[in-house]
Structure 1
Amino acid sequence: MLARVLTSLAIANYRSLRDVVVPLDRLTVITGANGSGKSNLYRALRLLADTSRNGTVGALAREGGLPATLWTGPPGGSASVRAGRADSRSNENNGALRLGFAGDDFSYAIKLGFAGGATMFALDPVIKTEHVWAGKPRPGSLLAERSNALMIVTDDHINYDGHPVSNYDSMLSEFSDPGAAPEMAQLRDRMRGWRFYDHFRTDASAPARTSAIGTFTPALPSDGADLPAAIQTVFENGDREGFNEAIDDAFPGCSAAVKDVDGQFSLQWHQQHLLRPLTVNELSDGTLRYLLLVTAMFTPRPPELLVFNEPETSLHPDLFAPLATLLVEASKRTQVVVVSHAAEVIEVIDNTTDYASIELVKRDGETFIRDQRPLTRPAWMWPS
């Protein structure tokens, strides 16, 4: 049986997510009204994944820098507003962004703040602290920690005291020696394997509508490029029968094929009563998007975490039930997190399998999980 990669996600001071701990399951569906914070939660999870590639600082810069992403409300959040104590003063937490997750085998937390000092890069985000635990985050399970530029890695065999790390670099990417710190290397590689799919482009110049030299493609790129090669990889190395059934479930009598002309792969779409197959440029946006989703979920090399942001976008309502079935089946092979507001998709999932249902709500600019109470909130404490 597949072990869960993540059991909870913790976020503090990222946009509307002032203090949120999200319980996660094999299949987690995150819903909420427009503006409730769904996209913020999705972005925060992507920022965590970027840490393993040393990309968190750059990703924050592309969002407008750390000042543009920090919680800008009062220190006490919505509670202080209702109590009449809200003011414009900040506190130490308002100057730091914290991200973390807990898992059955590893847990991780990172704190980002301002560089400060006599430099024109004073507003650049830098890494203040990082922590890695074996299992749940607690003092006795600490594997590695860093404070600013100094890092300590501890295990049964070796202790690196004061190992230098740049403030702009994650210790996961800079120090993950498989011999000296195998757990950190394993955690880094697993986080790098997480896959995110967010609104595939389907316009005329979309990467998915272009042909290319076919190469072995076990994971569909996030932009949908190399789609024919990814499909052929499923046919030769994955569950071809399941792939075809998923297409037929949504489009009865239809099938996808890949044509090879001197190594150049192109997509062919076979449809009942048509005398020739359609090319990818003749497919509707909804058909192409569904085909991309099927290809992503039938990867012959499943990641340990697969995240979709509003996969129902541009799909006809008739495709919502097949999409829900796809998500449920994918969760049997990997952990799946879905951000969605399609009631029809959620209803099918609800009638099919057990899953974690998370509804986000916003009060006074702050995002909360509906009906979450202190006793139902996953245990989490940010390291001091």
Structure 2
Amino acid sequence: MLTTLAIANYRSLRELILPLGQINVVTGANGSGKSSLYRALRLLAESAQGRMVASLAQEGGFASTLWAGPETISRGMLRGEVPIQGTVRKDVIALKLGFAADDFGYAIDLGLPEPDSTSMFGSDPHIKRECIWAGPVLREAALLADRDRSLCKVRAGREWQVLSRHVPNYDSLFSHCADPLRAPEVLALRERMRAWRFYDHLRSDAQAPARQAQIGTYTPVLAHDGADLAAALQTIRELGRGDELDAAIDDAFAGSRVDIVVEHGRFSLQMWQSGLLRPLSAAELSDGTLRYLLLAAALLSPRPPELLVLNEPETSLHPDLLPALARLISAAAQHSQVIVVSHAARLVTALSRVREAQILQLEKEFGATQLRDQTPLERPAWQWPSR
């Protein structure tokens, strides 16, 4: 389980160090930094896929994702005696992301490339430093893998073994140093991060793939857009969680049930509702009903991930469905660590009653996102690797 999430100089997250538990509910006003925190988590996962630099490009490029405020905020700025303004920069430009768990920690530091008139990719960020360490806090003695620009080395007993001297500055060490014999920790952490699951584009609009019949195969993991919903629900039934699925549907829609129909290998769903003489097809379901079924398929997965992240799952749901969704999330937390990003007060309130849940209330001060009521002494222990 992740115990700490650390982000520095990413959008409004000037430096945010969060404690994490079994269920984490990230909430706050519009513009408080919830979406930035979610994107930062996705960027961390992209590093294990080798797509971090490409993902930054999709967000508008490295420069547009950096903290836009001043490097330091003086006491005069805090008291309102002088306007917020920039000063002479002292530190290097760096976007830093990291996390710690009980067994492993990981951090990555991206910066500006060296001027190069021979390349047209002068705006791409370069990975300056990457570290994997044992335990929850970075210490020199705990380092297991260390990438310093193009040099990647791993711990071999009390010595260091160089794995590569030519790691491309745009590639993570996960792409070049995950050797099962010489660097098993790198490989293990890469596979764990690749198994993290994110849901923020579950479609329930009129043209949503989930409303159409689809070729069905065993589907223990729902697709990111929910296209294979019918096959995922049938997989949940056949792999032993059918009773939980039926209970979740009845909890949200009393007296209702879902059946899966197969015609010529194509799976589709039908929903029986109390008082109706025929079932409703997926095309007839409301956006909120379909979205709840999509979330149930994601949360009741027969192959639960170590980390499951939901971004605004309340979208399209009637407020009366949010307590049932909270119970689904609580059940999923028995098998996965869960992070929920939400601004729905009723969902946040329902989850706050769950013993394992902690509410992370974000707010902004002088443009920088911070955790409400967190003092510097209350931050989790964290150390960034130096360049």
**Structure 2 length normalisation: TM-score?**
0.94
Label 1:88 to 1:324 Cα distance change in 2 as closer, same or farther (>3 A).
same
Task: Answer yes or no: is 1:265 the counterpart of 2:267.
Answer: yes
Task: Answer yes or no: is 1:50 the counterpart of 2:51.
Answer: no
- Kept in 1, the 8 Å contact 2:152–2:177? The answer is no
| Counterpart for residue 148 of structure 2 | 147
| Counterpart for residue 335 of structure 1 | 337
Deviation of 1:77 (Å): 4.4
SS, match of residue 52 in structure 1 = helix
Mapping of residues 239-278 of structure 1, within 5 Å: 239-278=241-280
> Aligned partners of 1:169, 1:81: CA distance in 2, in Å?
39
Mapping of residues 28-107 of structure 1, within 5 Å: 28-77=24-73, 81-82=77-78, 84=82, 86-89=84-87, 91=89, 93=91, 95-107=93-105
SS, match of residue 360 in structure 1 = strand
- Kept in 1, the 8 Å contact 2:271–2:279? The answer is yes
> Aligned partners of 1:176, 1:223: CA distance in 2, in Å?
30
Label 1:308 to 1:132 Cα distance change in 2 as closer, same or farther (>3 A).
same
Task: Answer yes or no: is 1:111 the counterpart of 2:112.
Answer: no
SS, match of residue 292 in structure 1 = helix
Deviation of 1:87 (Å): 2.7
- Kept in 2, the 8 Å contact 1:77–1:366? The answer is no
Deviation of 1:199 (Å): 4.4
- Kept in 2, the 8 Å contact 1:201–1:224? The answer is yes
Label 1:78 to 1:257 Cα distance change in 2 as closer, same or farther (>3 A).
farther
SS, match of residue 314 in structure 2 = coil
**AA of the residue aligned to 2:161:** Y
Label 1:353 to 1:195 Cα distance change in 2 as closer, same or farther (>3 A).
same
Task: Answer yes or no: is 1:132 the counterpart of 2:132.
Answer: yes
Task: Answer yes or no: is 1:15 the counterpart of 2:11.
Answer: yes
> Aligned partners of 2:250, 2:22: CA distance in 1, in Å?
26
Task: Answer yes or no: is 1:368 the counterpart of 2:366.
Answer: no
> Aligned partners of 2:252, 2:88: CA distance in 1, in Å?
52
**AA of the residue aligned to 1:363:** E
- Kept in 2, the 8 Å contact 1:75–1:94? The answer is no
- Kept in 1, the 8 Å contact 2:201–2:224? The answer is no
Equivalenced residue count is: 380
| 1:290-332 per-position Cα deviation (integer Å, ceiling 9, x unaligned) | 0000000000000000001111111001101101111111111
Structure 2 spans left out of the alignment, 5+ residues: none
- Kept in 1, the 8 Å contact 2:110–2:126? The answer is yes
- Kept in 2, the 8 Å contact 1:75–1:89? The answer is yes
> Aligned partners of 1:332, 1:343: CA distance in 2, in Å?
23
> Aligned partners of 2:186, 2:356: CA distance in 1, in Å?
32
Of stretches 175-184 and 70-79 in structure 1, the one that deviates more from structure 2 is 70-79
Moved segments of 4+, more than 4 Å: 77-80
> Aligned partners of 1:323, 1:204: CA distance in 2, in Å?
22
Percent identity between the two aligned chains: 53
SS, match of residue 381 in structure 1 = coil
SS, match of residue 293 in structure 1 = helix
Q: CA RMSD in A?
A: 1.7
SS, match of residue 9 in structure 2 = strand
Deviation of 1:90 (Å): 5.8
| 1:192-218 per-position Cα deviation (integer Å, ceiling 9, x unaligned) | 000011142211111222221101111
> Aligned partners of 1:212, 1:199: CA distance in 2, in Å?
18
Deviation of 1:333 (Å): 1.0
> Aligned partners of 1:158, 1:282: CA distance in 2, in Å?
64
Of stretches 117-126 and 34-43 in structure 1, the one that deviates more from structure 2 is 117-126
| Counterpart for residue 350 of structure 1 | 352
Deviation of 1:125 (Å): 1.6
- Kept in 2, the 8 Å contact 1:202–1:288? The answer is yes
- Kept in 1, the 8 Å contact 2:352–2:358? The answer is no
> Aligned partners of 2:41, 2:88: CA distance in 1, in Å?
25
- Kept in 1, the 8 Å contact 2:163–2:177? The answer is no
**AA of the residue aligned to 1:330:** A
- Kept in 2, the 8 Å contact 1:66–1:124? The answer is yes
SS, match of residue 76 in structure 1 = coil
> Aligned partners of 1:318, 1:332: CA distance in 2, in Å?
24
> Aligned partners of 2:371, 2:180: CA distance in 1, in Å?
39
**Structure 1 length normalisation: TM-score?**
0.95
Deviation of 1:250 (Å): 0.3
- Kept in 1, the 8 Å contact 2:26–2:339? The answer is yes
- Kept in 2, the 8 Å contact 1:27–1:336? The answer is yes
| 1:84-127 per-position Cα deviation (integer Å, ceiling 9, x unaligned) | 48433463656211000010111000011122322221111221
Of stretches 283-292 and 134-143 in structure 1, the one that deviates more from structure 2 is 134-143
Aligned mate of 1:235, from 221, 233, 237 = 237
Structure 1 spans left out of the alignment, 5+ residues: none
